[in-house]
Structure 1
């Protein structure tokens, strides 16, 4: 089992000279303590999450602050960008980092984001796969034909060339269809437990490995990274006491996560129907729901069974989402315990695909 750090939140709505301090400090910690990667998202028009509109720009900076850890998007929303732009940006990151770039692609989520695209929101999955094909060809040094503003066909070859012969790719997905398509194409998968249980995701991972095998790829070579909300302390009680307030605040700004959690529990919930007291009760319910079976919150010892369960489900890497706690001192204080867990479970392996 490998461990990496995942970033998702951060208040970008105000001027703050220390806005990226947690990112930089935790990145250096990961780099010096054997973590596999840093995942930075692409998020637009969110006050919380507004620190990460462009993962390539962030990773260009992190390339200068780190030496070992891989630098990955989590994810590039491919339909929002021209493939040439994506290929050029990530080739630069690969060069600046000495060959440590990795790209996860996503189809996009909200309609608001698609002000950046000339294509309809409803075609986003088709656009994502088309962009993936074009980006990988460009990164391989091939010429790809595009239309200019007048409708003329133009051959494009991007520079600089990346240092890696092939930058690794993931696709962010929740549907079985996406897992299977990733297997058919022979790329990695980035997934999460948002709105699902591990029992829901495990069959999709099996379908992914079966698709790898059918397409002639090594079913054991595909990598599955699971994003998991993570906060560790010296004992489970301390971890829960420290995280319950920040976690409640986090869910308060991300009500859609509560709705997804309720849906996974077969509850028909519409938050618009709730009073404030009801929402406060639901928040407490949501925190408990996330901390039980959907998160790594506790001590290194108490979290080990969750790591083993993830491995049994077919997960190769735990992408620990750490910045849902908007307190630098708390987060940095928990990272040594996460490093301890990573070291203690380094020998935990998923079963090889049959």
Structure 2
């Protein structure tokens, strides 16, 4: 099991001068202590916007303060971009970082985001798959035909040449169809348990691995990365007290998934007569469900170890630890130090167990 750090802050309106202190300090700590990657998203506008409107810009900055860790988009909303710009910008980051770029792509969903490319909204999923293929060809140095401002067809190559001959690709997935699409093109997947249970995810991973094999890809060569809200402390009740309000505030900006969760388990509420007290109760209910069902990596080292073991059983390869969901800087840093110890102890235990098993066979 690998561990990476993922950011998805909704607090883009802050006027503090050190808006990126948490990003920079946690990325440097993760780089120093053997985390596999840092992921930064593409998020636009209120109420869903944050500190990360362009992950290539953020990753260029991170390239300057890290040495080993992979720098990944989490995710590029491809239908909002031109594939030429994606290839160019990320080739710059690949050079600045010494070849540490990885890219996850998403089709987008919020109509307001598409004021950047309104013509792509209706067919956004088809556009994503098409433009990923174009971007990959450009990355590998192929000439691609486009139409210029005069309406003429031109062949272009993008520069600078990246260091990696092929960039590692992820697809951000929730629906079965997207897992299948990722498998068909031989891409890794980035997913979450926001909309799915662990049992749901187990079925999707199985579908993904089968589809990889059906299309000539080695299922063992591809990675399932799982985003999880993460906070580790020493006392379960104290942890719950610390994270409950920030987590509920975070859920307010994703209230649709809270409503979906309530409907899924027949939690009774009437949207037409919905009060602020109803909203509060529903958010607290959602927090308890996520907490109790192992859909977040929030708790003590022992409870988190049990969660990780279950996820490893179903085929998760990496936990993308979402750390910036509203806790203050010092609290996040203290938790990240505990996460570092947890990661090292967990990986050491698994290695020790593996070699002990091998020794039984001489």
Global fold match (TM > 0.5): yes
Deviation of 1:312 after TM superposition, in Å, equals: 1.1
The DSSP-based 3-state class of the residue aligned with 2:241 is helix
Distance in 2 (alpha carbons) for counterparts of 1:273 and 1:146:
53
Distance in 2 (alpha carbons) for counterparts of 1:145 and 1:160:
18
Distance in 2 (alpha carbons) for counterparts of 1:173 and 1:269:
29
Asked whether the 8 Å contact 1:12–1:47 carries over to 2, the reply is: no
2:355 aligned partner: none
1:78-133, Cα deviation, whole Å (9 max, x unpaired): 00011000000110111101111100000001000111114241200000000100
Equivalenced residues, count: 349
1:215-271, Cα deviation, whole Å (9 max, x unpaired): 111111111100011111122222112111211222233322312322443557675
Asked whether the 8 Å contact 1:8–1:49 carries over to 2, the reply is: no
Distance in 2 (alpha carbons) for counterparts of 1:3 and 1:270:
40
| Structure 1: runs of 5 or more not aligned | 350-354
2:340 aligned partner: 339
Asked whether the 8 Å contact 1:39–1:71 carries over to 2, the reply is: yes
1:314 aligned partner: 315
1:274 aligned partner: 274
Distance in 2 (alpha carbons) for counterparts of 1:176 and 1:231:
29
2:73 aligned partner: 73
The DSSP-based 3-state class of the residue aligned with 1:109 is coil
1:169-318 alignment runs, 5 A limit: 169-267=169-267, 271=271, 273-292=273-292, 293-318=294-319
Distance in 1 (alpha carbons) for counterparts of 2:264 and 2:133:
33
Residues 309/73 of structure 1: CA separation in 2 closer, same or farther (3 Å cut): same
The DSSP-based 3-state class of the residue aligned with 1:74 is strand
Deviation of 1:48 after TM superposition, in Å, equals: 5.8
Flag as ranges the 4+ runs of structure 1 deviating above 6 A.
none
Asked whether the 8 Å contact 1:13–1:48 carries over to 2, the reply is: no
Deviation of 1:151 after TM superposition, in Å, equals: 2.5
The DSSP-based 3-state class of the residue aligned with 1:75 is strand
Asked whether the 8 Å contact 1:9–1:48 carries over to 2, the reply is: no
Tell me the TM-score normalized by structure 2.
0.92
Residues 161/321 of structure 1: CA separation in 2 closer, same or farther (3 Å cut): same
Asked whether the 8 Å contact 2:80–2:120 carries over to 1, the reply is: no
Distance in 2 (alpha carbons) for counterparts of 1:272 and 1:74:
35
Asked whether the 8 Å contact 2:193–2:227 carries over to 1, the reply is: yes
| Structure 2: runs of 5 or more not aligned | 352-362
Q: Which has the larger radius of gyration?
A: 2
Distance in 2 (alpha carbons) for counterparts of 1:215 and 1:326:
43
Tell me the TM-score normalized by structure 1.
0.94
Distance in 1 (alpha carbons) for counterparts of 2:98 and 2:142:
22
Residues 240/188 of structure 1: CA separation in 2 closer, same or farther (3 Å cut): same
